[in-house]
Each structure stands twice: as structure tokens, then as C-alpha cells.
């Protein structure tokens, strides 16, 4: 037994381990219930009485040595781990992550919405994938209107009902009218789709803000005032507006609105093609057929509607010459608007 104690002592003096798992293996090997030192303790019981004293104390020393060596190994390993954690310099500046910017269309949309909000309009939104009724039929489009042609509208399905990408956000106005009785005062921002060849001046999708006000005794004069206030807040207090007669199936009478060209101040330049005016929106009094179709009594209520393209307003404000820039997401283009708002 003495030989064995010597051998294990020698082993323990040279104990080494580089991972916590290896230390644990050593603990099991020497100190666990089935370990070598426990085995010696069992053998100890059958040692002759006269040797018990000497062997007993040697055995105890051995056990203490093993406990000490293994816990020393454990400590030095965890100290190493702490050291490697402190290699991280917590005071170092982080790698800067470049900030993006707001898209110019979002900037202009938000500005438009806040102008209308200041006049009491709330925001209404609806789906981009629509059915025929919300986009066309409810809005008094005749069955043979060209907008119902595949060349103008993206159809998703034509059977049993027409499902299509909305061509204007007037569909949202319909959705509000069919569920709500007047007074209704909403603006509807959103993306719309038209089947156009993509060029600098046209795209197959763009964005609109449309407005609708329905109540008792709403007149064309109310419409004109709201649009004048909008134009002045958007383009400056000197801005003038002009309404020209026009046609939309869902409004009667209908008009298109121009604002005085802010490049030449109305004198006439290349931008306004010498006229001093640039067109910005379509508008009119909601056709009684539309109110009736949406469950609102045209004998009691009247209303106006208007609609404009956010790209167009953005172009007028920031003179962006190519519509395609809005959807290419070139950061150099987007960063030009950093300081814009």
C-alpha cells in the first residue's frame, strides 16, 4: 500500500490539465467514490492494526494533496479565462454604423399629411390589391372605360371577379364611405400601380395622397380654400393657384389645379413651358352617383375630393428630373435629402 501511495503522490506532483473537462477527469480519477484514493481507503480497513497509524496519516496527506492540486488547477484555468475576457477594451469606440436617411417621398408625404392634419383631416389607408368595385364601379367608371383595360391596369385575376392593383387611392375613400356616415374628412396616402412603360417621366407604380370631405353644405368654395392653404404651406406663401375645368368619372364638376411656377415666379420659363403655371392635382365635387353607390344620401350630403401624386409634388419641390431615381435607392441620391428636413 505504501508503494501505491508513493506512486500516486508522484503523479499528483506532476498533475497538469489545460481544459476544465480534463480537470474534472482528474477529480474523478483520484477523488470520486470509485476513484483511486477511495479504493485505498477501502483497502485500509484490512491493514494490520500496528500499521494503521502510519498508513492512516499518509493516506490523509495523499487525499489533501489531491484536493489541493486539483483545486489549484481549476483556479489557474479560470484565471486564464478571466484574463482573456479582459483583452476586450470596453472603452474603445465602436465601429460606426452609417445612418440612412429618410426617403424624399416619405419626407414630402409626411409634410403633406401634416398640412392636411392641421386642417382637420385624418389618415385612412387600405389594401393595394383591390377588387373592381372599390377601384372602378363604385366610382362611376363606365364599363368600357379605358382604365379597365389591361393596358392601363395590372389585373391579378379576372374571374369570377376582377382583382387588380389599385390605380388610385380613391379606393380607400370608397372603403371609408361604405362603412361610415358623414361627416368624413380623410386623406389617403399610398402606393398605386399603372401599366406604364418605365421612363424618366413615368413609372409602373407611384404614390398618391387623395383627400375626401363629405358633410352637409360642402361647396366648391370650401375645396378651393383648402387647396389654396395646402399650396401656400407646401410651396410658400406667395404661391397662386388656378383651377381649370376637367373630367373624372367620380366628380362633377371636376377640375385640375395648377400652381404658379416657383422657378420663374409665374413669368414663364423652360420648367413651366413658358406658361407660368404647373399642374399639381385633380379635384372636384363628389358625383352623387358615387355617394349613392356607397350608401350616403346625396340629397342630404355633398362633398369634395382631390388627389395628387407625391412624386410630382416632390419633383416640384426638389427638381428631381428622373422618376426612376425614387425607386433605385442609390444612397448618393438619398443623402442629397439629408439636410432637406
| Binding characters for ligand PHE, 208-237, by CB under 6 A (x = yes) | --x---------------------------
Which residues does 267 contact at the CB level (< 8 Å), separation at least 6?
A: 276
Helices 104-118, 220-235: axis angle to 10 degrees equals: 130
Q: Please report how close the Cβ of residue 242 comes to ligand PHE at its closest, in angstroms.
A: 16
Binding residue for ligand PHE (CB under 6 A) from 306, 311, 316, 337? 306
> What are the CB-based long-range contacts (under 8 Å, 24+) for 219-223?
219/302, 220/253, 220/285, 220/304, 222/304, 223/283, 223/284, 223/285, 223/304, 223/306
Q: Is 248 in the site for ligand PHE (CB under 6 A)?
A: yes
Measured distance CA(324)–CA(330) in Å, rounded: 10
Q: How are strands ordered across the β-sheet holding 155-157? A: 129-131, 163-165, 155-157
Closest CA to 297 of 203, 216, 224: 216
Q: Is 70 in the site for ligand PHE (CB under 6 A)?
A: no
Which residue number, 235 or 248, has a Cβ lying nearer to ligand PHE? 248
Residues between 162 and 191 with contacts to ligand PHE, criterion CB under 6 A: 168, 170
What residue is closest to ligand PHE based on CB? 307
Q: Is 303 in the site for ligand PHE (CB under 6 A)?
A: no
Q: Please report how close the Cβ of residue 284 comes to ligand PHE at its closest, in angstroms.
A: 5
Binding residue for ligand PHE (CB under 6 A) from 73, 241, 283, 291? 283
Q: Is 276 in the site for ligand PHE (CB under 6 A)?
A: no
Any idea which residue has 365635387 for its cell? 285
Binding residue for ligand PHE (CB under 6 A) from 8, 26, 188, 305? 305
User: Terminal CA-to-CA distance of the chain, rounded, Å?
Assistant: 89
- Which stretch in 99-107, 147-155, 176-184, 276-284 sits in contact with ligand PHE by CB under 6 A? 276-284
Q: Please report how close the Cβ of residue 302 comes to ligand PHE at its closest, in angstroms.
A: 14
- Chain-centroid distance, C-alpha 289: 38
Contacting residues toward ligand PHE, per CB under 6 A: 168, 170, 210, 248, 251, 282-284, 305-307
Amino acid at each position: 500500500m505504501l508503494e501505491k501511495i508513493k506512486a500516486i503522490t508522484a503523479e499528483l506532483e506532476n498533475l497538469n490539465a489545460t481544459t476544465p473537462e480534463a480537470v474534472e477527469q482528474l477529480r474523478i480519477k483520484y477523488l470520486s467514490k470509485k476513484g483511486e484514493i477511495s479504493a485505498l481507503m477501502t483497502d485500509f480497513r484490512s491493514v494490520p492494526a500496528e500499521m494503521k497509524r502510519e498508513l492512516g496519516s499518509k493516506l490523509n496527506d495523499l487525499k489533501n494533496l489531491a484536493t489541493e492540486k486539483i483545486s489549484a488547477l481549476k483556479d489557474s484555468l479560470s484565471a486564464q479565462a478571466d484574463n482573456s475576457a479582459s483583452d476586450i477594451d470596453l472603452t474603445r469606440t465602436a465601429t460606426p454604423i452609417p445612418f440612412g436617411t429618410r426617403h424624399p417621398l416619405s419626407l414630402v408625404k409626411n409634410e403633406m399629411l401634416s398640412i392636411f392634419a392641421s386642417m382637420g383631416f385624418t389618415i385612412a389607408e387600405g389594401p393595394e390589391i383591390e377588387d373592381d368595385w372599390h377601384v372602378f364601379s363604385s366610382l362611376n367608371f363606365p364599363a368600357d372605360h379605358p382604365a379597365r383595360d389591361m393596358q392601363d391596369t395590372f389585373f391579378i385575376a379576372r374571374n369570377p371577379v376582377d382583382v387588380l392593383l389599385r390605380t388610385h387611392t380613391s379606393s380607400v375613400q370608397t372603403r371609408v364611405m361604405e362603412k361610415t356616415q358623414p361627416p368624413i374628412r380623410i386623406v389617403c396616402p399610398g402606393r398605386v400601380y399603372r401599366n406604364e412603360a418605365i421612363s424618366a417621366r413615368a413609372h409602373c407604380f407611384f404614390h398618391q395622397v387623395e383627400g375626401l370631405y363629405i358633410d352637409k353644405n360642402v361647396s366648391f368654395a370650401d375645396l378651393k380654400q383648402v387647396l389654396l392653404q395646402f399650396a401656400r404651406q407646401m410651396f410658400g406663401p406667395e404661391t397662386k393657384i388656378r383651377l381649370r375645368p376637367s373630367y373624372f368619372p367620380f366628380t362633377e364638376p371636376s377640375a385640375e389645379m395648377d400652381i404658379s411656377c416657383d422657378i420663374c415666379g409665374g413669368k414663364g420659363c423652360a420648367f413651366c413651358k413658358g406658361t407660368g403655371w404647373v399642374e399639381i392635382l385633380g379635384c372636384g365635387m363628389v358625383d352623387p352617383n358615387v355617394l349613392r353607390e356607397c350608401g350616403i344620401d346625396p340629397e342630404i350630403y355633398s362633398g369634395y375630393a382631390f388627389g395628387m401624386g407625391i412624386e410630382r409634388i416632390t419633383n416640384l419641390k426638389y427638381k428631381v428630373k428622373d422618376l426612376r431615381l425614387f425607386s433605385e435607392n442609390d444612397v448618393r441620391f438619398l443623402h442629397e435629402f439629408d439636410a432637406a428636413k
